[in-house]
Amino acid sequence: MKVFLTGGSGYLGRATIAELRRQGHTVEALSRSPKAAKAVEAAGAASVQGGLTDLDILNQAAGRADAVIHLAQAGTAEEDLAAATAMQDGVGSGAYVHTGGSWVYGDTDGVRDETAPWNPPAVVAWRRAVEDAVLAHRGRPVIVQPGLLYGGDNRLIDIFFVQPGLRHGAIPYIGDGANHWALAHIDDIATLYVAALAARPGSVYLGVGGVNPTAREVAEALSNGVGLAGKTVSITLDQARADMGPIAEAFALDQQLTPAKAERELDWAVTRTDPLAAFARG
């Protein structure tokens, strides 16, 4: 199968290209710069020069493909939906896999699945209109909602927790740290995106690992992994907002989520089941 992919130069994108290639697919990936082109080519994809606002390029690249995986996120909800629509129109009856996110469910009050009501923090509230429009489009739309990713670059966790922790000598957590995080390993999510190419149109899948440690447990494991010998520190939500911006509200969510639907319907299995050990290893 020939797959067109956006976000290929990112750390999830590179992992997904590698998994697509491992399963025998050919890949074209959008590249908005020479640096991005080198990254996607090194991962095993052919580069398509352009950005998410280049709707003709997106439409034409999707038209050459059997399926599309949209990993990147445009600057605004309107731009993201325009990009999605251009690619859905281009790929026609081929699979179109769109990226959502688990934060849209807000606090889950126990273990929940894709039937949980939406209660998103402001930073991701825009996703509702986009995802509804994607699912209403003709063709074969599927949405994958990744949890908080770890493995590889640990992008968000590294930026907002590890790097500040290294500067100040202790890894932070918000409040008492008793809130749970729905974590997912990057390699497992890459295999989920590939599996989703065969999903029933209109399906929505949580991309989570099924292990939901508390934020304090994550902070403690991270502190050991980066050589801080278990040193952690509680910060208030107001401090987190000042340091992190609106994403602090998402990190403060208490989420316990299950991957059971994807495992049941897509013959997909979580293989990384001990995130705390991974963090503690550094």
Which stretches in the chain have pLDDT values below 70?
A: 154
Structural domains of the chain sorted by starting position, each given as residue range(s) with its CATH number in brackets: 2-147+184-207 (3.40.50.720), 149-182+211-281 (3.90.25)
The pLDDT tens digits for 55-106 are 999 999 999 999 999 999 999 999 999 999 999 999 999 999 999 999 999 9
Please return the burial class of 278, using the count of CB atoms within 10 Å of its CB with bins 0-12, 13-18 and 19+: middle
SS3 content of the chain, % helix, strand, coil (to 5): 45, 20, 35
Please report the pLDDT score of residue 121 as a whole number: 97
Cβ 43 vs Cβ 16: under 8 Å:
no
Quick one: DSSP state of residue 214?
Answer: B
Please report the pLDDT score of residue 154 as a whole number: 67
Nearest to 169 by CA among 214, 218, 230: 230
CA dihedral 97, 146, 83, 160 (to 10 degrees): -160
Nearest to 158 by CA among 103, 68, 225, 91: 225
Determine the Cα–Cα distance for residues 29 and 17; give it in Å rounded to an integer: 9
The model's pTM: 0.96
Determine the Cα–Cα distance for residues 162 and 145; give it in Å rounded to an integer: 24
